[in-house]
Structure 1
């Protein structure tokens, strides 16, 4: 079954059709190779936690969809690992995203959001992805890794070329990967000589202790994964949240009236229009059944997070955005041992980005003068916008201060 175009143009309608017909289907991946796609909430949630579904490509059968391929030095990352290696490395990097560390980042993230919004000034219209949703997370991740401010523009360009490939320039993605690898090698050597108070310096110290806890390729792969995943998921979550609210003005009005509901709004947007359509591909280590369908060991299994989170058996009236909905158990950021490590930071950044934006631009709207103000990226895996063209009238300083006093944000308390 070749569903590539349908899954890009109408993912949720296509998933609903598939889910109604059967919970598991055989499809073609982006490389033309076959894979199983799983669409029902119960099956997807169980699959995310099933140790028989391996992320390690050594368990894959030839002739099946394998997903993206990276140089070996960048491929030794958490998205290709099972326990015990996955457990070992996740424990090492987990301290970067503890609740305490994320909480300490709130004030700097809010300051950065305000700085980006200051730059928009009174110009009246902008591409909110390019001007706000993208530079905010790339700056935060680069700060965590200890990337110098004058190189962050390079990182954003590399990530963009890799995650949003230009079909007319397929070589750009490979060049971006090569440039990132070369820079990380250089950066690691620099931090070995001059360590700082950042995550990359901490990981280098673990590697150099020579106790077998982190190899050179694992160190490079971790830095690469933190950058790419930290950028991609958050920019998409921010952009998708803004678009969903602008297209549901009743929900937006409720949020403006009570901004303490922003954390709940982020959870509902993640369920309704999350940053990933599919979890990373998996390979059964033994013959098994998924949703009553037999799947052979080594065949590729794609668990659809988007389909699961729009399953009416789990979320009634799932195609309606409802900020008062009980979103407990949504799968937008995963489940089980591979649950998104940076989820607390992504949530915090999105909450802060929305709060700052709604305070500053109380009359924000889609730019009606643009023919297609919010086109979706042509991706089977990710759900994100190429651009988000908006119009706005900036609030006065007194307006912002009045809203802030009425609904103080956590980072300002």
Structure 2
């Protein structure tokens, strides 16, 4: 197959980052499994339609461990974790973390997450305008995941800086600042783990460190990798779920009004927000473990494969009227959290945080409005997360309920 070169040239541009969906639609129609060069210089396949995406996410012939694909070592602390592992390592690593994210434990956190949301909005009541990302969408999930992990309150802001740098490194966007942040983060973790070994608590980090010390559970590199993943995945997805969700409600005032009048629709609203403009643009990298034929395409061993999750979630072959944002839509099998063995472990927590954050904002400040042109919002660069840097909102606290 030969894709239209002009279509390839539209991928990963600033215009594409702002609104990728018209390009995705053309891709799904013309070449849903596209061979191209990614922004980091690697060549590989981009999968954009739903059926192919679902199949690829579940296909064990696509592996996540780069060492198996090329005999390379992992290049950063971000890489040695369950997200970049294959069975049997994946099951062992995921099993260690899964204990902290049981359905009952997540459900038991509802009241506390509500308290955090209310306290953050209380703090905003003295202001007329806030940056929703910095003052709400970021703070709520970073407080929650920090408490789960045992991160001291005074260190939470540093984790955002380090998280952004690690995401940049995972995109192979390395510069002097990213390298410095990575070194700072590793040094912090080493010091933190040493303190935990001396005086463990009942937080997840203590559980993981103790498990490592008991013998064969975690290597030091695995410990760094798992903790790094939990810190990043534990807040980045939710930050952008809240931010993108609020933007989408601003773009669809009828749906916003419906949700305000019927807050019990929040469960379906969150699922539709995840489908319509999800917080994760692309899957992390996979590689073909062998020469294979995949849905009509010949792939070679070691070929890179990336799934455009947000494109699959707008595929008309799977979703009726996919370009319409409808919070009453019947429950859909969207791919915002992936599928298969790498289905996002923190999805139930992200959903709960999103539900509470958005419904509380709508209830407490029902008249909030955007303080800029929606087309002027700056979307974050990179190939993993999809979200804006800032959302300036006028809250109208004088009309607060």
Q: Report if TM-score (shorter chain) is over 0.5.
A: yes
Do the aligned residues in 1 keep the contact of 2:365 with 2:399 (CA within 8 Å)? Answer: no
Give 1:60 shift. Answer: 3.3
Q: How far does residue 174 in structure 1 lie from its aligned partner after superposition?
A: 1.9
- The 2-side partners of 1:4 and 1:156 are apart by 24
2:57 corresponds to which residue? 48
> Which runs of structure 1 show a deviation greater than 6 angstroms over 4 or more consecutive aligned residues?
none
1:284 paired residue number: 288
Give SS of 1:141's match.
Answer: helix
Given that residues 168 and 174 in structure 2 are in contact (C-alpha distance below 8 angstroms), is that contact kept between their aligned partners in structure 1?
Answer: no
Give 1:117 deviation, angstroms.
Answer: 0.8
- What TM-score, normalized to structure 1? 0.89
Equivalent of residue 315 in structure 1, options 314, 319, 332: 319
Q: TM-score, normalised by structure 2?
A: 0.92
Closer/same/farther in 2, CA of residues 296 and 164 from structure 1, 3 Å limit? closer
The corresponding residue for 2:258 is 254
Give the root-mean-square deviation of aligned CA atoms. Answer: 2.2
Q: 2:96 aligns with which of 88, 92, 98?
A: 92
Q: How do 1:157-196 and structure 2 match up within 5 A? A: 157-163=161-167, 170-196=175-201
Asked whether the 8 Å contact 2:138–2:239 carries over to 1, the reply is: yes
1:29 equivalenced with 2:38 (yes/no): yes
Alignment correspondent of 1:384: 387
Deviation (angstroms), 1:157? 2.6
- Tell me the alpha carbon deviations over residues 195-254 of structure 1, each in whole angstroms, 9 at most, x when there is no partner: 1110011111211111x1221111111111100111211101110011101110000000
Deviation track 1:34-74 (CA, whole Å, cap 9, x = no partner) reads: 11001110110011011000001024359xxx9xx743x44
Q: Tell me, yes or no, if structure 1 residue 266 matches structure 2 residue 275.
A: no
Matched-pair contact (CA < 8 Å) for 1:360–1:395 = no
Kept in 2, the 8 Å contact 1:362–1:394? The answer is no
Aligned-pair CA distance for 1:15:
1.0
Q: Distance in 1 between matches of 2:88 and 2:166?
A: 29
Are positions 1:4 and 2:8 aligned together? no
Deviation at 1:161? 4.1
Alignment match of 1:364 (pick from 365, 368, 392):
368
CA distance in 2, matches of 1:303, 1:337: 15
The CA distance in 2 between the partners of 1:220 and 1:268, in whole Å, is 34
Whether the 8 Å contact between 2:272 and 2:325 is mirrored in structure 1 is yes
Post-superposition shift, 1:289? 2.3
Q: Is this contact kept in 2: 1:277–1:383, CA < 8 A? A: yes
- Written as runs of structure 1 = structure 2, the 5 A alignment for 1:286-301 is 286-301=290-305
Residue 407 of structure 1 is matched in structure 2 by none
The answer on whether the counterparts of 1:164 and 1:377 sit within 8 Å (CA) in structure 2 is no
1:81: how far off?
0.4
Equivalenced residues, count: 390
- C-alpha separation between the residues in 1 aligned to 2:398 and 2:85? 48
C-alpha distance in structure 2 between counterparts of 1:182 and 1:294, whole Å: 44
Measured after TM superposition, the shift of residue 177 of structure 1 is 1.6
Alignment of 1:200 onto 2:209: no
Aligned partner of residue 259 in structure 2, secondary structure: helix
In the alignment, is residue 141 of structure 1 matched against residue 149 of structure 2? no
Deviation of 1:151 after TM superposition, in Å, equals 1.2
